[in-house]
Amino acid sequence: MVKIAAIFGTRPDTIKMAPVLSALQSHPREFRLITIATAQHRQMLDQVLDIFKIKVNYDLNIMRPRQPISHVVMSALDKLDASFRKIMPDMVLVQGDTSTTFVGSLAAFYHKIPVGHIEAGLRTDDKYRPFPEEINRRLTSSLADLHFAPTQTARQALLSENVPEEKIFLTGNTVIDALLATVKERPRFKDPFLETLTGECRRSKKPIILITCHRRENWGKPMQQVCNAIKKLSDRYRDVIFIFPVHLNPVVREVVFPILGGLDNVILIEPLEYESFVNLMNQSRFVLTDSGGVQEEAPALGKPVLVLREVTERPEAVEAGTVKLVGLEERKIFAEVSRLLDSSAAYQRMATATNPYGDGKAAWRIVEILRRHFGLRKRRVPEFRAG
């Protein structure tokens, strides 16, 4: 039996890992799955574990208030090293670009354990944007043995860095697997306030704009610019409801609440668990975000995305037309949001663009590739084809 250790630590990487865990568990005679949570984001992680019914075998619980990245790295490395000494898996799976991803790969390398990297090959070519994710993913690529690339662009990035072609597999993104299994046509929100609010918006036909903004490189003045733009938009578009689940990080909240608190049509709420968040996204007119995962999820639901960043490691949806980079300058954000609210033609062009990120079968492909890698399957696995 092949022993696979899957490592995750934040809400986004756990969401994307969840379909792979489920697919591995469907082969109990071939794989022994061991789950390791660094708990880099404790509260947000726990919500996802409950939704996807993930049982954690090793909970490293490294989160501390306001801890710097260096402490995350040192603590995770120390505890993963000890865990691997006990487990000694045949392969380690990591997802995406978090500090947990990089440290999990590094700890595996120190024990000469092969690494499979899910969502490999994303690049901005700017080491500080996003920070520290761009370097996390590059370092992970240098340590990985199997590279599960979500898109053709990601595969080409890996090839340009001299990753052997036979080690790269085009799978699509597992976030689409998780999304399609979770979104409902007529959801019921657990939060009574949110259930009432979305119901009233449907009946009155008031559009909802969903907002997220929390990335480290946007802290301080850039986030102030975002909030100032939202404040002006809320004054001009009184019939639009702006819903902003505010990240738990005090650095974010200390900016958002003083600027946007108390505005009638700006609803500041606590972070939503995954099921509520994606169903709220499906109820929204469009999304204003600095998130990487939302750039992949929203296009699958036909929702335009205005990205609060200067660069993105997910250029496919920008090229397809469903995502647009609007930067972090107040006037530009105001103008681009206004354009989508004022012009039905501009909105339709973005809403009907093709989603290039997945077909809901990425996790199946990854597990079948692992089966072939370990001699449990003979035939090659069909690759993901966008469009």
Residues with active-site annotation: 97, 119, 133, 214, 216, 247
Backbone torsions φ then ψ of 347, nearest 5 degrees: -65, -50
The letter for the amino acid at 233 is L
34 φ, ψ to 5°? -120, 120
Tell me whether residue 156 is exposed, middle or buried, using C-beta atoms within 10 angstroms of its C-beta: 0 to 12, 13 to 18, 19 or more: middle
Give kind and range of the element (H or E) at residue 74. helix 69-87
Give which of 249, 185, 245 is closest to 210, Cα–Cα: 245
| Contact criterion met (CB below 8 Å) for 91 and 2 | yes
* Per-residue tokens: 151: 């898109």
Which residue, among 297, 344, 347, has the nearest Cα to 321 in the 3D structure?
A: 347
C-alpha pair distances (Å), 29 with each of 21, 26, 53: 15, 9, 21
- DSSP lists the bridge partners of residue 153 as none
Element (H, E) at 33: strand 31-37
Quote the CA–CA distance of 22 and 51 in Å, as a whole number: 13
Q: Which helix (H) or strand (E) holds 208?
A: strand 208-212
Q: Do the beta carbons of residue 289 and residue 212 sit within 8 Å?
A: yes
Would you tell me how many other CB atoms lie within 10 Å of the CB of residue 125? 10
H or E element in which residue 83 lies: helix 69-87
Round to whole Å and give the CA distance between 63 and 75.
9
Strands 266-269 and 31-37: unpaired
Contact residues for 188 (Cβ-Cβ < 8 A; gap 6+): 195
H/E element holding 366? helix 362-373
